[in-house]
Amino acid sequence: MAAALLGCSSGGGSGEGDGPAVAAEDPAASGGEPAERLVSYTSRLPIAQYSYTEAENTAIESAQQLLTQRCMRSYGIAYEPTDPDREPADSTDRRYGVSSPSEAARFGYHPNPDASRDTQVDLPKEALSVFYGNRGASQGSGGDLVYKGKKVPDAGCFGQSIGKLSRYDDPDGAAVASRIATGSYQESLDAPAVKEVFRKWSSCMRKDGFRYASPNEPLNKSAFQGGEISAEERETAVADVRCKEATGLLDIWFKAESAIQRAHIQENVKALEGLLTAHREKAAVARRIVADG
């Protein structure tokens, strides 16, 4: 969950954390039926304002890809960067478990396979060693990696490109933000309002024949973790979403966690402002790299 907010990913949330959930239309919906609205919670939590914005993330990824391309070219290897603006299919936010009726009916508790980026690098095997360097090599393998008589960076062209921008990172500030993003979720489980709405959700689920004390129980059920998606898993997930909607669980949980995060943010303002400054500086450097071509 912290990674979803902070791990070199976009966030750009407003940090308000109290309004109704922002909904985005599902472009996959078709056939004359009203499009399902995809609800966002993670990007609207208060700590999300200390993540990179989408524009900053795009600039940084573009700069990393451009630096990688330059490096690969110095070895005589043609490398075409991926388009950082190419987004995977939209999917609902799962910080509080499943929330989309259509995804629950199709995938149960499994992730939407269409919502992940294809990160495979299309290069010949020898060229991949230049791209990745010694990453993943067994310890003690020893020796420099050489390609056509030229030494390859230990981290490869890609790792070297990331390293050139990572000097602008703020590890201490990022650790504070990550701790808040992760800790607030755990603390929210003990919030009285969340405990109460869990009880209501559990009662709702019992009416459909499912006995779970909290939404995390079916989410983490081992029978729902395998490769196959069973009818039971789909039926449970559909009932789960329906009971969340009936009890207002998602908004109640979101508001409780938002309040917890705001309190922690106030206790760590200096560190978080430093993190925000580092993000802006890194993005500015990335934009200059892209502008230089």
pLDDT for 119-161, tens place per residue?
A: 677 788 889 999 999 875 544 455 689 999 999 999 999 999 9
Task: Tell me the two tokens of residue 235.
Answer: 């039926």
Give the three-class secondary structure for 133: coil
Interatomic CA distance for residues 293 and 209, integer angstroms? 61
Across-strand partners of 52? 10
Predicted TM-score (pTM) of the model is 0.81
Q: Which of 21, 57, 15 is nearest to 180 (CA)?
A: 15
Residue 188 makes CB contacts below 8 A (sequence gap 6+) with: 194, 253, 256, 257, 260
- Residue type, position 254, single letter: F
pLDDT in tens, 198-241: 999 999 999 999 999 999 999 999 999 988 999 999 999 999 99
Give the three-class secondary structure for 275: helix
**Cβ(64)–Cβ(161) under 8 Å?**
yes
At 93, the pLDDT band (50, 70, 90 cuts) reads confident
Is residue 80 exposed (0-12), middle (13-18) or buried (19+ Cβ within 10 Å)? exposed
pLDDT above 90 covers a percentage of the chain that reads 71
Buried b (16+ CB within 10 A) or exposed e, 102-121: bbbeebbbbebeeeeeeeee
